[in-house]
Every structure is written in structure tokens, then in C-alpha cells.
């Protein structure tokens, strides 16, 4: 009896060790799952495409009407190498993962194969016996596509398949749940209560039993939803050896255009107005800081958005009603490298996903762009490296009225502006607007010390006496105000308006808002824009807002104005010098 018991125990131990060995062997054989589709025909077409470029392509039913495409089978170490290398080369999706054989049911690809001995699903293909090329059969619209009814994984099986996921794969799952709006905690790869609750919420939203454990098919479904936004982007790893940068780019919407130091430029290739710049140049911290300032002058970098500059890197986000751009650059080993992504506004789902892939994949490789390298022969003062410098929507003139930089200008210069600047480098805010008179008062955000300020006239000038107008006639192109000389026609408007002065002088659109001087250099008023409606007036007829009324508005606002103390006639050159010290370019930006 004792002998029989010992023999039975020995047999049991042997069986247990064999079972453990089989289990270990089974877990050591894995697959690289690359895609899953809900529908046999689509899955078969995708498997056929992959088979033209990769070896070991197989397709299996994975339950719930889903069909997976996998590479293998491989031993785990080999599978990890295949997964890593194929991801890096862009030959398989970034969300590919390792899976066990028990994740798969009947096989549908290759046609007739049965590597798991679980039955074969007939693929909806016909083969040409001469070319051996599989062609997609056209289904009879009256006969529905056959669906294999196979059970999905049980919660226990799903947990076991989860255990095969790497930490990065588990983090990717949390990222996908976060993107779907079901997860709002830290991305740590730990499937705790918060992650489980988010999984259950996602399952419920997709009419799946909310177990809080995602099966292999459900994970594939989640990632398919997550990646659907990238359809048409054709994300590929691009190695730009000239610039010394390797990065994943949306090659479906941008294509290489040209080199313009320090950029390798990728321009739109279709209807989507997207653009990519790869930044590459040798330099030091001064180079980095200079690039930081230059980038913010470009039209592709709108004014609004976060700016962040550190000792060795910077990030710039710019956005307006039409576009959003993101730039990052880093200084390392005497080289400044980075990138800019420009994307249309209102397409945040795709933009953020593309940007995420670009940031995650960005790698500096040997080499930088040559400073003399340019594919563009065009030269223009409003271009930097072939890129348009940002320009204001409009520019007009103004003038300083006190020692802290308060400016008077025309209302037209400040209507519906996102940003107002003085001489294009000092931000200003609108302190007061008198729409009836057409006068606006601006305050600089940071203090300004003007070279000269307006001195308001204390005596009425004589009719037909000389007057002068200072203004940025050409919108700041010349860098300094120009002077226009003429005569005083009337102390009132054409209809007797007492708040207007009529002058005989030819001016341009950019002069509006500029100061009008009498022959002693005192301020008579502010030049108003030419009327755009009503009767067409002669070119030499202009109007100015009365200086006495402007001064009264300023005093009521608490501005310390100056009045003229010497009414002696000044030479034109002295009036010009005084005017250039007090006249300022006022710019309105979108």
C-alpha cells in the first residue's frame, strides 16, 4: 500500500513538473500583434498588404467580430527585437504589442493555413493561378459577409494577456483612455482602481460588459479609436542627414521643400495647410537666445501663446484664429537643434497626436546645416530664411504727449486689435477712445522716455499760414517719420465743425494719427484719416482733430500735457527734428 502511494505521488509530481514546463514553454512563444479590424474583409486586405513587405504575417479571429494581424510566432527575446526594430523603422504601428497564442482563435491568413490547429476561416479572396496574386473578391450585396461567432476572452484570460504587456505598453493604454476622456490620473503603467474604473467606463460607453479588465480585442478596439484620428497622416520616421535630425513626420500632409539656413523646410503637399521646420545650426547660448527672438517675428508663429526659455532650451506656442504653431529647440554639444510644427486651428485632435509623435521621436544625429546653404534665390527685407516675417494688420502714426510715453493716435489704428505696439517693440494698452472725435489715447506697458513731447498751441494760427504733418507715410518701411508741408485752410470743417481744422497738404494713409504743427512747432491737432465714404475730396484736402479739444481730453484723463511757451517761427529743419523725436509708429496686430 505504501509502495503504491509513493508511486502515485511520484507520478503526480512528474505530471506537475511537465505541466509547468508546458506552461513556461507556451508563455515563451509569443506573437507581435500589429493591427486589429472589425470585419474580415478589411483585415484580410490589410494582412495581404503587410505580407508584401514583411515575413511571418498571420491573421486570426480574436473574438467579438474582431480579426487580428500578427507576426510570428517567435521566442520572446526574438519577438521583442522584432517589435523594437520594426517600430523604429516605421514598418509596423507604434501601438503594436506582444501577445500569447491563446489570444487567437481560427486563422484566416495566409489562406488555408492552420498553425494553431484551431480551424481555418476562409478568407474572402480568390487566387490567380498564373500570377499567384490574391485579388479581393466583390461580395454579393444580397449575401451578408459571414461572421465567425467566437467567444471573447474571459476576465481571467484577459488578466493573463495583460501580464504580457510591458510598462510602456500599459502606459500607452492609459494614454489612450485619457484621450478617450475616461482617465485623468497619472500615466504610470499601474492598473490600479482608477485605471480599472476608466476601463469599465470605456467598456460601458462602447456597449461592452463593464468588467474593468480589457480583453485583447477590446484593447485593440481602444487603440483603433485612438489612432483613427491619424488616418491619412502617414506617420513615418524620417532621417534628415543634412540637418542631423531623425524624427517621425506626417508624410501624408507635408513633404520636403528646401533648405534655408537654419531650417530644413517641409511644406504642405495637399489641402491641409500644415508645415514643419527642422532647426539645425552650430552655436552657443547666444545663438539659442537669438533664434528664440527671431522665431517670434515670423508670421507662422502667432503672437498669442506660451513662451518658455531656459539656459539651454526654449519652447514657443503661438496661436490665432487660423493657425497654431509649436517650436522647441535645445542647445547640446555646440549645436542648436529642434523643430516647428504649424497646423490649422480647429484640428486639435490630429495636431496634438502628431505633435506627440514628433516630440517623442525627435533625435539629434551627427551634422548641422551649413550657414551658406540656401535653395532660395529670392531676397526681401520681410523674409527670414525664406519665411515671411509677421507683419501688423495695419500701421498708423501717433505722437507722445507726456514724459512717460502716453500716445495720441487715430481710433482707426486701434480697432479690433489683438495687440497694439509702439514702434513695433513696445506693447501698449488702450486707455481712452473718443469715437466722435476719432482720437485714441494709448499707455505703454513699460515706461518710455520720449526724445520730445507735443507742446500744444496757445494762440490761434493765421489762415494760410504754413503747417507741417509728421507721419509714417509708408507704414514704417522707412524706419522714421516723413514730413509733409502745406498751409492752414480753415479753423473749421467743411460743414462748420468747430472740432476740426482743414489743412491743405497731401498725405498718405500711414500719416493718419500723426501730429500737425504750426510754423512755430506748436501742436495744432492730429491728422485724421481721409474719408472713405461720401464725396471724393481733392487729394490736398485733409482734416485734423482740434488740438485744444485733444488737450482737454488728456487733462481730464490725468495726463500732464505741455503748452507752448515760445510762439516764434521755427525753421523747417528744427520742426522736423522735433517731430521725429515725438512721432511714433502705432501698429495693430491680429
Q: Quick one: three-class SS letters along 7-26?
A: HHHHHHHHHHHHHHHHHHHH
Name, of 71-75, 269-273, 327-331, the range with top average pLDDT: 327-331
478: phi then psi, degrees, rounded to nearest 5: -80, -15
Which pLDDT belongs to residue 137?
33
How many other β-carbons are positioned within 10 Å of the β-carbon of residue 375? 11
Interior/surface letters 455-474, b for 16+ CB within 10 angstroms, e for the rest:
bbbeeebeeeebbbbbbbbe
Of the pLDDT bands very low, low, confident and very high (cuts 50, 70, 90), residue 153 is confident
How many other β-carbons are positioned within 10 Å of the β-carbon of residue 396? 28
Rounded to an integer, what distance in angstroms lies between the CA atom of residue 305 and that of residue 577? 39
Of the pLDDT bands very low, low, confident and very high (cuts 50, 70, 90), residue 478 is confident
The three-state secondary structure class of 314 is strand
The three-state secondary structure class of 538 is coil
Q: Which three cell numbers stand for residue 37?
A: 479590424
Rounded to an integer, what distance in angstroms lies between the CA atom of residue 475 and that of residue 413? 11
The three-state secondary structure class of 334 is coil
Of the pLDDT bands very low, low, confident and very high (cuts 50, 70, 90), residue 39 is confident
Least confident of 100-114, 214-228, 359-373: 100-114
Which pLDDT belongs to residue 120?
64
Instruction: Name beta bridge partners: 471.
Output: 482
Which pLDDT belongs to residue 79?
86
Q: Which three cell numbers stand for residue 295?
A: 522665431
Max Cα-Cα span within the chain: 138
What integer is the mean pLDDT of 10-38? 57
Residue 190 makes CB contacts below 8 A (sequence gap 6+) with 170
Which has more pLDDT, 16 or 243? Answer: 243
Q: Report whether pLDDT(238) > 80.
A: yes
Which pLDDT belongs to residue 292?
92
Which pLDDT belongs to residue 9?
39
Q: Report whether pLDDT(142) > 60.
A: no
Which pLDDT belongs to residue 64?
63
Cβ atoms of 443 and 431 within 8 Å: the answer is yes
Of the pLDDT bands very low, low, confident and very high (cuts 50, 70, 90), residue 139 is very low
Of the pLDDT bands very low, low, confident and very high (cuts 50, 70, 90), residue 335 is very high
Nearest to 229 by CA among 250, 201, 215, 214: 250
Rounded to an integer, what distance in angstroms lies between the CA atom of residue 108 and that of residue 59? 5
Of the pLDDT bands very low, low, confident and very high (cuts 50, 70, 90), residue 87 is confident
What integer is the mean pLDDT of 222-246? 88
What integer is the mean pLDDT of 222-241? 87
Beta strand ranges found along 292-418 (DSSP E): 307-309, 313-319, 323-332, 335-344, 363-364, 383-384, 387-388, 394-400, 407-410
Cβ atoms of 393 and 588 within 8 Å: the answer is yes
Angle at 98 between CA 115 and CA 365, to 5 degrees: 125
Q: With left for phi above 0 and alpha for psi between -120 and 50, is residue 62 left, alpha or beta?
A: alpha
Of the pLDDT bands very low, low, confident and very high (cuts 50, 70, 90), residue 386 is low
Cβ atoms of 455 and 582 within 8 Å: the answer is no
Cis previous bond, 45, omega within 30:
no
Where do we find the cell 489641402? 271
Q: Please provide the average confidence, as pLDDT, over all residues in the chain.
A: 83
Least confident of 146-160, 191-205, 469-483, 573-587: 146-160
What integer is the mean pLDDT of 487-492? 89
Which pLDDT belongs to residue 127?
35
Rounded to an integer, what distance in angstroms lies between the CA atom of residue 269 and that of residue 138? 33
At 189-206, the pLDDT tens digits run: 999 999 999 999 999 998
46: phi then psi, degrees, rounded to nearest 5: -70, -40
Q: Is the dihedral of CA 136, 141, 146, 151 positive or negative?
A: positive
DSSP 8-state symbol, 425: T
221: phi then psi, degrees, rounded to nearest 5: -65, -45
Cβ atoms of 545 and 499 within 8 Å: the answer is yes
Cβ atoms of 471 and 481 within 8 Å: the answer is yes
**What DSSP string runs through 448-502?**
---S---EE-SSPPPTT-EEEEEE-TTTTTTSS-EEEEEEEEESS-TT--TTEEE
Which pLDDT belongs to residue 339?
97
What integer is the mean pLDDT of 373-384? 50
Nearest to 581 by CA among 486, 505, 483: 483
Which pLDDT belongs to residue 550?
94
Q: Report whether pLDDT(128) > 60.
A: no
Q: Which three cell numbers stand for residue 320?
A: 490665432
How many other β-carbons are positioned within 10 Å of the β-carbon of residue 405? 21
What integer is the mean pLDDT of 74-93? 87
Q: Which three cell numbers stand for residue 110?
A: 495566409
Rounded to an integer, what distance in angstroms lies between the CA atom of residue 217 and that of residue 201? 16
Which pLDDT belongs to residue 224?
83
Which pLDDT belongs to residue 432?
92
Instruction: Name beta bridge partners: 409.
Output: 398, 440
Q: Which three cell numbers stand for residue 434?
A: 473718443
User: What Rg value do the Cα atoms of the chain yield, rounded?
Assistant: 36
Helix axis angle for 167-179 and 193-205, nearest 10°, is 50
Nearest to 98 by CA among 143, 37, 160: 160
Q: Report whether pLDDT(388) > 80.
A: no
Which has more pLDDT, 65 or 579? Answer: 579
What integer is the mean pLDDT of 548-567? 90
Rounded to an integer, what distance in angstroms lies between the CA atom of residue 201 and that of residue 182? 7
Amino acid at each position: 500500500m505504501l509502495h503504491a502511494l509513493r508511486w502515485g505521488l511520484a507520478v503526480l509530481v512528474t505530471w506537475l513538473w511537465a505541466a509547468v514546463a508546458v506552461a513556461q514553454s507556451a508563455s515563451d512563444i509569443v506573437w507581435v500583434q500589429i493591427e486589429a479590424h472589425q470585419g474580415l474583409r478589411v483585415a484580410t486586405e490589410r494582412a495581404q498588404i503587410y505580407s508584401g513587405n514583411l515575413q511571418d504575417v498571420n491573421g486570426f479571429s480574436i473574438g467579438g467580430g474582431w480579426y487580428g494581424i500578427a507576426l510570428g510566432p517567435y521566442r520572446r527575446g526574438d519577438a521583442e527585437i522584432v517589435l523594437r526594430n520594426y517600430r523604429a523603422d516605421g514598418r509596423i504601428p507604434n501601438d503594436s504589442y506582444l501577445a500569447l497564442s491563446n489570444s487567437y482563435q481560427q486563422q484566416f491568413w495566409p489562406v488555408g493555413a492552420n498553425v494553431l490547429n484551431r480551424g481555418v476561416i476562409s478568407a474572402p479572396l480568390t487566387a490567380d493561378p498564373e500570377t499567384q496574386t490574391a485579388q479581393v473578391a466583390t461580395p454579393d450585396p444580397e449575401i451578408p459577409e459571414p461572421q465567425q461567432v467566437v467567444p471573447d476572452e474571459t476576465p481571467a484570460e484577459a488578466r493573463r494577456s495583460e501580464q504580457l504587456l510591458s510598462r510602456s505598453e500599459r502606459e500607452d493604454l492609459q494614454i489612450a483612455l485619457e484621450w478617450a476622456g475616461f482617465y485623468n490620473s497619472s500615466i504610470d503603467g499601474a492598473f490600479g482602481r482608477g485605471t480599472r474604473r476608466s476601463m469599465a467606463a470605456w467598456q460601458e460607453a462602447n456597449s461592452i460588459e463593464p468588467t474593468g479588465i480589457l480583453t485583447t480585442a477590446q484593447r485593440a478596439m481602444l487603440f483603433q479609436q485612438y489612432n483613427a484620428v491619424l488616418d491619412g497622416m502617414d506617420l513615418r520616421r524620417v532621417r534628415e542627414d543634412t540637418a542631423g535630425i531623425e524624427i517621425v513626420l506626417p508624410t501624408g500632409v507635408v513633404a520636403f521643400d528646401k533648405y534655408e539656413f537654419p531650417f530644413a523646410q517641409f511644406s504642405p503637399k495637399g489641402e491641409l495647410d500644415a508645415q514643419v521646420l527642422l532647426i539645425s545650426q552650430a552655436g552657443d547660448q547666444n545663438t539659442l537666445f537669438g533664434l528664440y527672438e527671431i522665431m517670434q517675428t515670423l508670421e507662422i508663429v502667432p503672437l498669442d501663446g506660451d513662451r518658455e526659455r531656459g539656459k539651454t532650451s526654449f519652447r514657443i506656442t503661438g496661436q490665432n484664429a487660423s493657425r497654431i504653431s509649436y517650436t522647441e529647440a535645445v542647445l547640446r554639444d555646440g549645436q542648436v537643434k529642434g523643430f516647428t510644427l504649424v497646423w490649422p486651428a480647429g484640428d486639435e485632435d490630429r495636431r496634438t497626436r502628431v505633435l506627440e509623435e514628433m516630440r517623442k521621436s525627435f533625435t539629434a544625429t551627427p551634422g548641422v546645416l551649413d550657414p551658406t546653404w540656401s535653395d532660395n534665390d529670392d531676397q526681401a527685407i520681410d523674409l527670414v530664411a525664406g519665411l515671411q516675417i509677421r507683419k501688423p494688420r495695419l500701421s498708423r502714426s501717433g505722437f507722445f504727449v507726456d514724459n512717460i510715453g502716453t500716445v495720441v493716435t487715430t481710433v482707426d489704428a486701434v480697432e479690433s486689435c489683438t495687440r497694439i505696439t509702439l514702434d513695433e517693440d513696445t506693447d501698449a494698452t488702450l486707455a481712452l477712445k473718443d469715437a466722435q472725435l476719432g482720437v485714441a489715447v494709448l499707455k505703454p506697458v513699460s515706461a518710455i522716455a520720449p526724445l520730445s513731447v507735443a507742446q500744444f498751441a496757445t494762440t490761434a494760427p493765421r489762415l494760410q499760414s504754413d503747417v507741417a504733418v509728421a507721419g509714417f507715410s509708408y507704414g514704417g518701411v522707412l524706419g522714421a517719420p516723413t514730413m509733409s508741408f502745406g498751409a492752414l485752410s480753415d479753423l473749421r470743417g467743411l460743414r462748420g465743425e468747430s472740432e476740426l481744422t482743414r489743412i491743405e497738404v497731401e498725405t498718405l494713409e500711414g500719416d493718419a494719427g500723426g501730429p500737425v504743427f504750426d510754423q512755430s512747432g506748436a501742436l495744432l491737432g492730429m491728422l485724421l484719416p481721409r474719408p472713405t465714404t461720401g464725396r471724393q475730396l481733392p487729394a490736398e484736402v485733409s482734416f485734423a482733430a482740434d488740438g485744444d479739444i485733444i488737450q482737454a481730453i488728456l487733462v481730464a484723463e490725468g495726463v500732464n500735457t505741455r503748452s507752448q511757451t515760445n510762439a516764434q517761427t521755427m525753421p523747417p529743419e528744427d520742426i522736423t527734428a522735433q517731430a521725429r523725436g515725438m512721432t511714433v509708429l502705432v501698429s495693430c496686430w491680429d
